[in-house]
Amino acid sequence: MNPKHLYLLACPVCQSELDFRNTHFENGRIRSGELCDKNGHAFPIIDFIPRFVPRENYVSNFSAQWEKWPELLSCYDGYKERFFNETKWGSDLKGALMLEAGCGAGTFTPFAASTGATVVSFDLSTGVDANYLKSGCLENVLIVQADIFAMPMKKGLFDYIFCFGVLQHTPSPKKAFMELCYRLSDRGQLAVDNYTMPPIGHSYEMLWKNKYRVRYVTSRFSEKTVLKLVWAYVNVLWPLTRMSLLLFGEYGVAMNRFFLFDDYKGRLPGMDEKRYKSFAMLDIYDFLAPKYDIPVDIDELKSWFCSAGLNNHEVHFGYNGIEGRGSR
């Protein structure tokens, strides 16, 4: 980590100031050492990243994703459009502090950093290692491994906070949302999204219903077993899904969704043709492997913004189900 970013962190146990101990530098950054507070709490810095959680936790399946498909989510530039459209914060945020909650392998981190804001990007999984390789050396980025329910960041500090593709995979999406709100500054702005069940008759209705039916079975398996099953399933059915599109067009899209295959070209236009099959594996694994998958509806997400006392909030269907924005 860059030592100049120490002021952004606080002990996740007691919110005390942290200081360095036993540090080893490499190219001006701390490769290893500890972060300690006056109450005796200590947390390691390993491979340039402060670590506030044990390696094994309830999102270990996401770590498997980053290891299996390290390049996939970063090869598609549609995520840049999603970041700016979903936050609506503009592209010039120099001087601001931004928190990215649940960065994974760093899909959105480069775009957050491009605004000029100082970005603290964290995740519970070891996806932070992949993120560090891409964005960790940027002067305005601090990458941390931490839990959204015990964040090692000072409360009331951040001007902008975003959390995309994460809340539904926590044990309590509402509690996670509230923890983010505690980190907002007096005039801070928040942008989040969460899965939601499609309404009756929606083109994704059967895909989502079948996803949760299959999850009833796969939730009993280890992530490694699910990964093997998904790999075999996609390899067997992939040629048939391509054929159904050629023969039946839009009806083929509906048929494929029944079997959990989305219309990836329509959803991710412009991606390299060879990557769509890999993305199908990633997508279906993401459906079936997470320990938690908790959708909410629009009214529920609106109620969170009201409970947190956020103003000017808007909640609507968006990129990842439903999305919402609000401010202090």
Residue 52 sits in the same domain as residue 187: yes
Cα three-residue angle 108-112-116, rounded to 5 degrees? 160
pTM: 0.92
Residues of the chain with pLDDT under 70: 56-77
Residue 244's domain comprises: 205-288
pLDDT in tens, 167-193: 999 999 999 999 999 999 999 999 999
Residue 215 sits in the same domain as residue 192: no
- pLDDT at position 152 is 97
Partners of 71 in the β-ladder: none
Residue 135 sits in the same domain as residue 235: no
- 167 belongs to a structural domain: yes
pLDDT in tens, 131-164: 999 999 999 999 999 999 999 999 999 999 999 9
Residue 84 sits in the same domain as residue 137: yes
Residue 274 sits in the same domain as residue 311: no
Helix ranges restricted to H, 29-184: 60-68, 78-87, 109-113, 127-135, 173-182
d(CA 261, CA 192): 26
- 76 belongs to a structural domain: yes
Q: How many angstroms separate the Cα of 186 from the Cα of each of 150, 182, 193, 328?
A: 21, 10, 22, 6
User: For residue 322, what is the domain's CATH number?
Assistant: 3.40.50.150
Residue 143 sits in the same domain as residue 84: yes
Ramachandran area for residue 81 (φ above 0: left; ψ -120 to 50: alpha; else beta) = alpha
Residue 189 sits in the same domain as residue 238: no
Residue 14 sits in the same domain as residue 136: yes
Residue 124 sits in the same domain as residue 253: no
Count of domains observed in the chain:
2
- pLDDT at position 271 is 77
- 304 belongs to a structural domain: yes
- 293 belongs to a structural domain: no
Residue 119 sits in the same domain as residue 43: yes
- 308 belongs to a structural domain: yes
- 257 belongs to a structural domain: yes
Residue 149 sits in the same domain as residue 239: no
Q: Which residue's entry shows tokens 């996670």?
A: 176
d(CA 139, CA 136): 8
- pLDDT at position 75 is 53
- pLDDT at position 93 is 98
d(CA 66, CA 131): 10
- 307 belongs to a structural domain: yes
- pLDDT at position 61 is 60
Residue 44 sits in the same domain as residue 23: yes
- 39 belongs to a structural domain: yes
Cα three-residue angle 145-168-241, rounded to 5 degrees? 105
